[in-house]
Structure 1
Amino acid sequence: MFSGLITYLDSIRARDPAPRSRWEVLFYPGVWAVGLHRVAHWLFQARLYFLARFVNHFSRFLTAIDIHPGATIGRNFFIDHGFTVIGETAEIGDNVTIYQCVTLGGTNPTNGVGGKRHPTLEDNVIIGSGAQIIGPITIGQRGRVGANAVVTDDVPEGATMVGLKARSTLVPAEEWIKDFIPYGTPCDEPCEELMETGAGRLAELESQLAEMKAELAAIKAERAQPIKRNGTDD
């Protein structure tokens, strides 16, 4: 158990450059929230729902992180800062990172049956601050969701989602193979340049438009010149 805790704290230090020691990490609200959730989830599985909710509410009061006791969480789950909400049927894999103010929210079942209504995050997913992941969708392994994105559809493995409603961006291979991207949001320009609205694409289109204008002007000038036949002008 102690070795498992050390491994967990070290996994957080690998993703967060701020702490100088494991002791600092031990006082992170996200660490306490996950630890208390383990207790609440055990009580929930034992059908001790009132006690599970009591631990849940105590944890929320203490950490500003609300994890429903029914949520399933894997190893080395890191919540960086608070104000995060995780719903009852959410499933979270191993080595997942969530930043502040994220919601793993559910859809309202129209048939009156709860069922699976919250997202599934597979291994090594990163969710940027303020992102909203809504419904029984799946974020594939190594998926990244950028800050403030709203995701309501499945995310393919390794994709990076940005925007409202979130759209996928083409991430260069050297970016994709990185073990960790802070906030799940690429900070360099190539990602945006591959999109139609990117600055690089816009500059390319403007250059092509200037060339077309120059060619059109040359054609008009050529047609405007008088046509010579048999040495005389018409």
Structure 2
Amino acid sequence: MACVVDIPLAEPSPSGPVKASLSKLIREDIGCVRQRDPAARGQLETLLTYPGIHALIWYRIANRLWLSGWRFPARLLSWFGRFVSNVDIHPGARIGRRFFIDHGACVVIGETAEVGDDVTLYHGVTLGGTSWSPGKRHPTLEDRVVVGAGAKILGPITVGAGSRVGANSVVIDSTPPDVTVVGIPARVVRPQLSHRRVVGKIDLDHHLMPDPVGDAIEVLLDRVEFLEARLTHMQKRLRDAGVPTTPPHETSHNLTEVDNG
């Protein structure tokens, strides 16, 4: 097993964050695919055949228009990006660097959602809201978060840096950093830093999830086995002491059957 480390993937600039150019952001989005998808064989193939990349390109352009006050063109471009990629990203969402949508399909990211750097989403993920009121109503995903296929993260909550969300989970509460959450509603099933962290890379083994129901059943079976062994031991001690171990109602039932016979 790889050692557990706390090394960020990208060191922040000493003078604070610097706004990258549009072309650099897109190049980083394309470049990070090969690190997280073994099926990616080259940047040209990635650029031409990955719908997640197509969606990100249209989002990056629409987001610049949105921030410049060109709201209608931004929404129109966002609609076109959704039409060609089946990924719906609102141009007002804030998405960090090296963002990857694997098998880009049916992903929805709301207007006030915030996504950190080096985040990975799988198909069917929703970063949705739970209110019609204006203001912050969509989730925040901090750096290095991995969200499994079909997961729904709802409301103005925060998923801590380095956390993983299991497939088809529904997250409605904020999570601490470096944990694994699964279920409906999602609960922490693996504590901080107990899952693998590979040096310089993102741990994409989001399929290695514990089974909380199976664990609970296993504990119950162990308890039943212990109680049965304890009962057998107590019955043996009573028999050795000459004390009858048959319950009174069973004794009465047996005597009645003898009398009737």
Give the equivalent residue in structure 2 for 1:52.
Answer: 74
- Which 5+ residue runs of structure 2 have no aligned equivalent? 1-20, 245-261
Give the equivalent residue in structure 2 for 1:13.
Answer: 34
CA-CA distance at 1:32 after TM superposition: 1.0
Cα distance in 1 between the residues matched to 2:30 and 2:106: 21
CA-CA distance at 1:207 after TM superposition: 3.6
Mark the CA change 1:175 to 1:50 in structure 2 (over 3 Å): closer, same or farther.
Answer: same
Once the two structures are superposed, residues 19-71 of structure 1 have per-residue CA deviations (whole angstroms, 9 ceiling, x without a partner) of: 22222221211111111101111111122111011100000000000000100
RMSD: 2.3
1:141 is paired with a residue whose SS is coil
Indicate conservation of the 8 Å contact 1:144/1:185, yes or no: no
1:155 is paired with a residue whose SS is coil
Give the equivalent residue in structure 1 for 2:164.
Answer: 144
Report runs of 4+ in structure 1 exceeding 6 Å deviation: none
Cα distance in 2 between the residues matched to 1:196 and 1:60: 38
The answer as to 2:140 corresponding to 1:120 is: yes
CA-CA distance at 1:212 after TM superposition: 2.2
- Which residue type is aligned with residue 50 of structure 1? F
Which of the residues 234, 246, 249 maps onto 1:216?
234
Aligned ranges for residues 1-234 of structure 1 at < 5 Å? 5-26=26-47, 27-81=49-103, 82-109=105-132, 113-170=133-190, 173=193, 175-178=195-198, 179-182=201-204, 184-186=206-208, 191-192=210-211, 195=212, 197-198=214-215, 200-225=218-243
Once the two structures are superposed, residues 176-228 of structure 1 have per-residue CA deviations (whole angstroms, 9 ceiling, x without a partner) of: 424434373325xxx33xx47416535533442332232233244244449xx
Mark the CA change 1:40 to 1:164 in structure 2 (over 3 Å): closer, same or farther.
Answer: same
**Who wins on radius of gyration, i.e. which is larger?**
2
Indicate conservation of the 8 Å contact 1:137/1:153, yes or no: yes
What's the TM-score, normalizing by structure 1?
0.83
CA-CA distance at 1:159 after TM superposition: 1.1
Indicate conservation of the 8 Å contact 2:29/2:53, yes or no: no
- Which residue type is aligned with residue 149 of structure 2? S
1:182 is paired with a residue whose SS is coil
1:184 is paired with a residue whose SS is coil
- 26-35 or 118-127, which moves further after superposition? 26-35
- Which residue type is aligned with residue 31 of structure 2? D
Identity fraction in percent: 41
- Which 5+ residue runs of structure 1 have no aligned equivalent? 227-234
Indicate conservation of the 8 Å contact 2:25/2:98, yes or no: no
Cα distance in 1 between the residues matched to 2:192 and 2:94: 32
Give the equivalent residue in structure 2 for 1:232.
Answer: none
Task: Give the structure, 1 or 2, with the largest relative contact order (CA under 8 Å, sep 6 or more).
Answer: 2
Once the two structures are superposed, residues 125-175 of structure 1 have per-residue CA deviations (whole angstroms, 9 ceiling, x without a partner) of: 000000010000000001110000000000110111111111111258562
Indicate conservation of the 8 Å contact 2:129/2:139, yes or no: yes
Cα distance in 2 between the residues matched to 1:3 and 1:86: 22
What's the TM-score, normalizing by structure 2?
0.75
Equivalent residue pairs, number: 218
- Which residue type is aligned with residue 204 of structure 1? D
Indicate conservation of the 8 Å contact 1:145/1:185, yes or no: no
